[in-house]
Structure 1
Amino acid sequence: MIGVQATVVTASTAAEALAAALALPLLAPGEAVDENRFVALLLVSPDTVALRAPGRSAPNPVVVDFGAAAMRHRRRGGQNELLGRAVGVGRKSPLRVLDATAGLGRDSFVLADLGCEVTLAEREPVVAALLRSGLVGAQRSGDAWLREVVGRMTLAEGEARHLGAAALLRQDVIYLDPMFPPRDKSAAVKKEMALFQALFSRPGAAEDADALLGWALQAPVARVVVKRPLKAAPLAGRAPSHAIRGKAVRHDVYVLSALGAN
C-alpha cells in the first residue's frame, strides 16, 4: 500500500487533498510508518511531491524535477538527436507528439526542449501526481528557459487509448516507451527505479505493450515511434519501417504517412 504524508505541517492541506484525490491513506506529519503496511510513501512538501520507500535506509526518493542538473546535462546528450530524428523534428513546426507512456516525463521534456508540443498521457494516478508536481514546479521557476519548455507540455491523466478522436487528430506522432529494466550504472538509481517498477509494473505488461502498439498504428498520426532495448525484438513482432540505433537503446519508427499530411 502507498500512503501520503506531509513532510512539514504547512504541507498538510496539500497532502490531505492528494490523499483524497488518490483514495490513499493519509499519515500525519512525523507519524511513524508501519513498514509492514506501507511499501511506499508519497511525501508532500510545500514545493514538490516525491515517492519513497519507508525506512531510514531507503534509497533517494523518486521525484520529477525538470530543472535538475541531470536533466540539464541530458540536453547535451547525443541521444536527444536520435530521439529527435526518430519523431521527425524539423519536418513540421510545431510537431505535436503524444507520449502515450509518459512515466516520469524525461523523454517528453527532451522532445519539448527540441520544440515539440507534447501531450503526456499517464494512466497511473500516483505517477501522474509526480508529473503534475514537476510541471507546476517548473512553471513557477525563475528560469525562463525551463518555463518555456514546460509550456509546450500538457498532462493528460489516464489511459492514452481513452483519449477522444479530436485529441488524436491533433497529434502528428505517438511515442511509446514500454517499461523495461533500467541500465543506469549507479546502484542508488537502480534501487530508486526498482521501487518504481515494483509498484507500477503490471501482470501481462508485454501483452499490454503489444496491444498499445496495435492501437497506435490504427491512430490518425503520421508515425509511431517505439523505444526498445538495443537487442530486443520489435514490439509485437511487428517490423518497423526503419530503426535509429544508439549505444543502449534504439527507436523503431513506423511511418504511416508524411508528416503534415494528417
Structure 2
Amino acid sequence: MKYILLSITFLFVLSGNRLFAQNKHFTQNGTITFEKTINMFAVFQKQINKDNESYLQPAYDAYKRSQKQFKVLKSTLTFGNNKTLFTPIEPENVSNNFFSNGPLSNQVNNVFTDLSTGTNITQKNVFEEIFLVKDSTRKISWKITNETRDIAGYTCRRANALMLDSIYVVAFYTEEIPVPGGPESFCGLPGMILGVALPHENVTWFATKVTDMPVDDKALTPPKKGKAVNNKQLHDKLVSVMKNWDTQGPLYLKAFSL
C-alpha cells in the first residue's frame, strides 16, 4: 500500500512538472532596457603614470572632488526573429570634461546582430569618424557555472570567458528568453544575456526592464552610415593611429575593440 501511495505521489509530481513546463512562457521578442555603469575614478586613475602625473594627478583629484564616482548610461536592445539591435540612448547631460570623453566612458556602438547567419553590423563612432563594421559575430568560449541571480525578474545563470586575449568577462543569461544575444556584441550563450561585467575594466551592463511585445521588422533595421570596414581593417587602422600614444594607446584600442 505504501509503495502504491509513493508511486501515485511521484506521478502527480511528474505530471505537475510537465504541465508547468508546457505552460511556462518564453519571451521570443521585445525590448530590454540596459544600464551601463562605469567606475570613473578607477578608469581615470589607470591613465595616470610617471610621465603625466605632474598634470593629470591634480586634474584627477579635482575631478574626484566635483564629480560622481559612477557614470550611468542607458541603452535598449530590441529583439525578434532571431535578430537584435543594440541602441545607446543619448544622455540628457553631456559632460565636456577631458576624463569623460574616452570610448569606455561613453557608448560608441550601434550593433545589429543576425543570430541566424552569425553576422554583425556595428556603427562605431571613433572620435570624429564613423565606421560601419561588417563581420561575423564574436566567438566567445564561455564556461557556464551553477551560480544564478535574478535580473529584471528573470532567473539568470553565470558564465565566464576571456575575450580579446586579456579581457575577463562575467555574463548572466536567461533561458526564459531563448535568444542567444545580449548588449553590445556579447552573445553566444543558450539564452539572452541580461548582465555583463568586465571587472578589470570597471564597467558593467545590466538589464533593468524587459518588455515582452511584438517587434516589427522595421525596428530591427541595421545601421547604414559609416565607412565600411571589417574588424581586422579597423583594428589595423587604430593601431596605426595610436602607435605613438604611449600608455594611452592600448587603453583606447581595447575600448574601441569591445
Instruction: Give the TM-score taking structure 2 as reference length.
Output: 0.23
Which structure features the higher share of helix residues?
Answer: 1
| Bigger Cα Rg | 2
- For normalisation by structure 1, the TM-score amounts to 0.23
- Higher RCO by CA contacts (8 Å cutoff, separation 6 or greater): 2
Structure showing the higher strand proportion among its residues:
2
